Amino acid sequence: MPEKNLSPARSSEWALAVQHRLLAWGRTHFEAYPWRAAGIARWQALVAEFLLLRTRAKQVGPVFESIRETFPDAAAFGTADDASLRSLIAPLGLRWREPLFVALAREIGVCDGNLPRTAKELRALPGVGEYVAAATAALHSGERAVIIDSNVVRMLCRLLGVPYNGETRRKRWLRVLADRLTPEVGFKEYGYAALDLSMTVCRPRDPLCEDCPLLSLCATGSGYQDPASGSAESLSTR
Ligand code: SF4
């Protein structure tokens, strides 16, 4: 079966309602992590997003603070010795990440923290994949980018009422949907809301559907059926 026929369609009204409700929820549920504070240097934000990959924010917090306290600027970070850099992130596990962290620090030092702004350019940096690049661009650089992490994938699939697995994030229909939901203006606020709601409310086990602002629009939570669901084309081909 062609991939496009695997995705239920959703109307523009549905997409707009999801977007608006996420933005409204985000205004009162913003998680004030240190890397989200105003005035954080972009190189520090990039480091935080790098560390957040497959790692809980609660674990990343102390390591991030330690990096901020240890290195006053990008040049100091970029010229630290390998062992110091590795030991800073050792508590987070994922040892394969350590050489990438060192390589990323070197690049940050070379450009003195003046990192590229777009997700496409950021992806050229060591250890910076699609999620880290998009999050750094949209949340810290003022460049619209579509943020998709495993929590967002789970939330979008539950909204549609379709199964998901490790491969779902690469599906075209999922990316098209995520792009469609990301506003041109307010993409930063939307990104924060989607990340936070999918992590704290649409959590992996026992989603808190009764507390979810998307409940009445969600196929999984309330059995919502979109009038456009008879046509698979509108979502898969936009
Ligand atoms: S209603 Fe439930 S399943 Fe649907 S998005 Fe919200 S928390 Fe997730």
How much is the pLDDT for 7? 54
CA distance 68 to 100: 19
> Which atom of ligand 1 sits closest to the CA of residue 209?
2
Ligand 1 proximity of 26 Cβ (cutoff 6 Å): no
How much is the pLDDT for 28? 97
- Tell me the CA–centroid distance for residue 156 and ligand 1, in Å: 9
Ligand 1 proximity of 212 Cβ (cutoff 6 Å): yes
Q: What phi and psi, each to the nearest 5 degrees, are found at residue 151? A: -70, -40
To test the pocket of ligand 1, the residue of 29, 162, 214, 226 to mutate (highest count of ligand atoms within 8 Å of its CB) is 214
How much is the pLDDT for 159? 97
| First-to-final CA distance of the chain | 19
CA distance 197 to 7: 22
- Tell me the CA–centroid distance for residue 143 and ligand 1, in Å: 28
- Tell me the CA–centroid distance for residue 144 and ligand 1, in Å: 25
Residues of the chain with pLDDT under 50: 1-6, 230-238
> Which atom of ligand 1 sits closest to the CA of residue 207?
7
To test the pocket of ligand 1, the residue of 208, 212, 222 to mutate (highest count of ligand atoms within 8 Å of its CB) is 212
How much is the pLDDT for 228? 66
- Tell me the CA–centroid distance for residue 212 and ligand 1, in Å: 6
Residue with tokens 């240890």: 70
Overall pTM > 0.85: yes
From the candidate CATH numbers 3.90.1150.10, 1.10.443.10, 1.10.1670.10, 3.40.50.620, the one assigned to the domain spanning 3-29+148-236 = 1.10.1670.10
Ligand 1 proximity of 67 Cβ (cutoff 6 Å): no
Q: What phi and psi, each to the nearest 5 degrees, are found at residue 47? A: -60, -45
Ligand 1 proximity of 207 Cβ (cutoff 6 Å): yes
How much is the pLDDT for 39? 87
Tokens of 231: 């046509």
How much is the pLDDT for 198? 97
Residue 115: DSSP 8-state: -
Tokens of 211: 């507390």
* Fold of domain 34-140: Endonuclease III; domain 1 (1.10.340)
Q: Could you tell me the residue ranges of all domains in the chain?
A: 3-29+148-236, 34-140
How much is the pLDDT for 78? 97
Q: Is the dihedral of CA 105, 106, 107, 112 positive or negative?
A: positive
